[in-house]
Amino acid sequence: MKIRIGFSLTYECPNPTPMILNLNVHFSRAGDMISADHLHADPPVPLTGFRDNFGNWSTRLVAPRGLFTLSNDALILDSGAPDPVVPYARQTPVNELPDDTLMYLLGSRYCETDRLSEVAWQLFHHTPPGWARVQAICDLVHGHIRFDYAHARPTKTAWDAWHERVGVCRDFAHLAITFCRCMNIPARYCTGYLGDMGTPPPYGPMDFAGWFEAWLDGHWYTFDARNNIPRIGRVLIARGRDATDVAISNTFGPNILKNFVVRTDAVAESPDAKGPTGL
């Protein structure tokens, strides 16, 4: 299937303002891009790309004074397959974990393993290690937190989400990641596009989505405590320890976000389209 993705962000800056952005599709999906997701700036400014410490494609710029819009529009090829479910995936003992997974066992800005370790062991020590344990964590978090955009805030941590029991997709992900790490399962935060393909209406306004990946049996697997069902059409933008590492924008000066639109839609195939032929 083909998916059209894109966004439009408009800022108002009282002064020229440096920005660092995570808005491009992850390099692991580069081979799926049908049309490139180049950033467009209005008014035009110089853009500098670089790879951050997690391999995400990032962009630096200086936004001019006044209204400033960033946008892109791209087409990506997707398998249309749902997130894989591998119930037999085992939990890897800590002493056997690859070195590059170890940072995802540790506490981070939004994932306070020290504060939630006792809670996690009380809740999940009886669950079978491996896939079943991560799924049990997702089930509990999915039922524990009520989704509500009105309760989003950039300072909310996993500890806050546990006690307040309301939040947005990043809060579901942070709490699930923290519980996984407390149970010695490496887990990392993901952000990207996730449309409504394959789900029944009504549909809410589109936004960038947050989910997570857990390391089991030698692989990173996708889990989504907010939706808690396998989904199709997931397009990764960035990965990191938590939302700190994958913020869509870091701005170094006062500004107001005046407009924010995200688009991700399946592209209907033309009835005249023909598939490949061969002899």
Beta-sheet pairing, 17-21 with 249-251: antiparallel
Q: Are 259 and 9 in contact (CB under 8 A)?
A: yes
Same domain, 21 and 115: no
Q: What is the CATH number of the domain that holds 19?
A: 2.60.40.2250
Same domain, 166 and 261: no
Q: What is the pLDDT of residue 271?
A: 58
Instruction: Report the half-sphere exposure of 231 (CA within 13 A, side-chain side).
Output: 21
When divided into structural domains, the chain yields a total of 2
Q: What is the CATH number of the domain that holds 212?
A: 3.10.620.30
The residue segments making up the domain with residue 38 are 2-79+248-266
User: pLDDT tens, 97-110?
Assistant: 999 999 999 999 99
Indicate whether 25 belongs to any domain.
yes
Indicate whether 85 belongs to any domain.
no
Rounded Cα distance between 269 and 274, Å, is 10
Rounded Cα distance between 223 and 234, Å, is 11
Name the residue with tokens 């591998």: 86
Same domain, 217 and 99: yes
Same domain, 121 and 216: yes
Indicate whether 278 belongs to any domain.
no
Q: Are 122 and 137 in contact (CB under 8 A)?
A: no
Residue type, 136: A
Same domain, 104 and 209: yes
Same domain, 100 and 232: yes
User: pLDDT tens, 26-63?
Assistant: 999 999 999 999 999 999 999 999 999 999 999 999 99
Indicate whether 86 belongs to any domain.
no
Q: Are 108 and 59 in contact (CB under 8 A)?
A: no
Indicate whether 53 belongs to any domain.
yes
Same domain, 166 and 98: yes
Indicate whether 52 belongs to any domain.
yes
Residues 6+ apart with CB under 8 A from 132: 87
Same domain, 172 and 224: yes
Instruction: Report the half-sphere exposure of 41 (CA within 13 A, side-chain side).
Output: 16
Distance of CA 224 to the CA centre of its chain: 10
Same domain, 120 and 183: yes
Q: Name the band, by pLDDT with cuts 50, 70 and 90, for residue 278.
A: very low
User: pLDDT tens, 214-266?
Assistant: 999 999 999 999 999 999 999 999 999 999 999 999 999 999 999 999 999 99
> pTM of the prediction?
0.94
Indicate whether 197 belongs to any domain.
yes
Same domain, 151 and 221: yes
Greatest Cα-to-Cα distance within the chain, rounded to the nearest angstrom = 64
DSSP string for residues in 135-189: HHHHHHHHHHPEE-GGG--TT--HHHHHHH-EE-HHHHHHHHHHHHHHTT--EEE
Indicate whether 134 belongs to any domain.
yes
User: pLDDT tens, 99-150?
Assistant: 999 999 999 999 999 999 999 999 999 999 999 999 999 999 999 999 998 9
Same domain, 63 and 137: no
Same domain, 227 and 108: yes
Q: What is the overall mean pLDDT for the chain?
A: 94
Q: Are 108 and 241 in contact (CB under 8 A)?
A: yes
Helical H runs in the chain?
A: 113-124, 131-144, 158-164, 169-182
